[in-house]
Amino acid sequence: MSHVRIEGLTKRFAGKPPTVAVDDLSLEIEPGEFIVLLGPSGCGKTTTLRCLAGLETPDEGRISLGDQTVLDVRGKVNLPPNKRRIGMVFQSYALWPHMTVRRNIGYPLRTRRVAREQARERIEEAAGLVDCAALLDRYPAQLSGGQQQRVALARGLAARPDLVLFDEPLSNLDARLRDQVRAQLHELHARLGFTAVFVTHDQSEALALGDRLAIMRAGRIEQLDTPERVFEEPATEYVAGFIGMSNRLSLRRAGEGWTVVGEPGADGPAGVPGPAVAGELPVPRSHGEVSARLRPDDLLLCPVEEKPPGHGVGLAAEVVDAQFGGRHMDVVVTIAGGRLHARAPLTGTPWARGLSRGQRVTAWFPKDTAIYYDADGVRTAAHAPAAPVGA
């Protein structure tokens, strides 16, 4: 287990136009911590991981693992992958097809010149950890996808590295296997306590596995915090959108209350005032325009003749689509032309089962379940202090 320190890491790729894949990124990882790099395609997750592994030549920055400096661009240090005590587990299992499971798991031990007898013990130990001890003499083609990924996991752990890097290791598995291998990985981390950096664009994976999440945007870390804080208190609108607050309402002050402002591409022209919101929202007076972000679970529906409770914001809405989801209905509504998603529970409110296209309903939400962002996408200050932005 090692303390990992990344300072001012920058990686540019030549091209037209050139890309800054990682942009002055700094991050400190505690020994035994499981860090998840989360973000959309192209935000620089894999490049950051490859720089840690020694598979890229960064343009600037320093990286240390424990007391070893593995990268120092100014000092002209860039240790090759086999000189860093790092294990890697990738999306494509990347097992050698002509090698047995035993030889595959033993590969990083051979590159580190671990003595034969010790290597045999380590291979068996790693295979045992992921329930693959019975598969050691098979070839990858004789394994299921889940087994192959478990072997890849064993290979990543076999050399007892200081740091294990994971690049979307579960994304090639079907949903059931993904859940299984994810649970196994979570348990393994709790048992072995290795330090990990795990790349994904899947928020549920990130929430389940991470001690802390680093939400990346354009080569930088936009928010670094515990899964609970990122989920409950996204610091910027970008993070909110990425972590499931897919509903967005633009709001403008009007007298003592607010008005919903029409969205571009909606039925009417953008910016046209929509339904009024009576009374104040938890937003400082200095903000005249904000956007409210809400999860589908937090957008509630009721018949037009019912009034939402006093602490709620009720808005006239029209149903566009309603799909049965077992215990709930997934409902798309329009409000001021903008589309929003509601997940209406059926237990207690069977009324939602009969919703159909064109029906008028009231969509509502308690004022404090929404999070409000200013024009720059930064959380407004009326809430608890925003989580730290950046590393």
Write the CA distances from 108 to 1, 51, 164, integer angstroms. 17, 19, 12
Verify binding: residue 25, ligand ATP, rule CB under 6 A: no
- The yes or no reply on residue 356 touching ligand ATP (CB under 6 A) is no
Question: Is there binding between residue 96 and ligand ATP (CB under 6 A)?
Answer: no
Which residues is 163 bridged to in the sheet?
Answer: 86, 195
Residue whose CB is less far from ligand ATP, 39 or 106: 39
Among 6, 21, 164, 371, binds ligand ATP (CB under 6 A): 21
The interface mask with ligand ATP, positions 180-209, x = CB under 6 A, is ---------------------x--------
AA letter at 376: D
Angstrom distances, CA of residue 68 to CA of 4, 64, 81: 10, 5, 13
Alpha-helical runs (H) found in the chain: 45-53, 101-111, 116-129, 145-158, 175-192, 203-209, 227-232, 237-242
Smallest gap from Cβ 218 to ligand ATP, in A, equals 9
- Residue from 2, 46, 195, 362 that binds ligand ATP (CB under 6 A)? 46
- Closest to ligand ATP by CB, 104 vs 200, is 200
The CB-of-214 to ligand ATP minimum distance in angstroms stands at: 12
* 44 lies in the site for ligand ATP, by CB under 6 A: yes
Q: Locate tokens 């196994």: which residue?
A: 184
Q: How far is the CB of 266 from ligand ATP (least distance, A)?
A: 31
Contact status: 43 vs ligand ATP (CB under 6 A): yes
**Residue partners of 317: CB distance under 8 A and separation at least 6:** 301, 333, 334, 335, 340, 360, 361, 362, 363
The residue within the footprint of ligand ATP, chosen from 10, 19, 69, 180 (CB under 6 A), is 19
* Chosen residue from 28, 42, 190, 284 binding ligand ATP by CB under 6 A: 42
In this structure, the chain runs to a length of 391
Examine residue 138 and tell whether it contacts ligand ATP (CB under 6 A).
no
Q: Do residues 14 and 25 lie in contact, with contact meaning Cβ atoms separated by under 8 Å?
A: no
Cα 303 to Cα 111, 278, 347, 362, 364: the distances in Å are 67, 19, 16, 6, 11
Q: 3-state DSSP call for residue 314?
A: strand
Closest to ligand ATP by CB, 90 or 258: 90
Q: List residues near ligand ATP by CB under 6 A.
A: 13, 15, 19, 21, 39, 41-47, 201
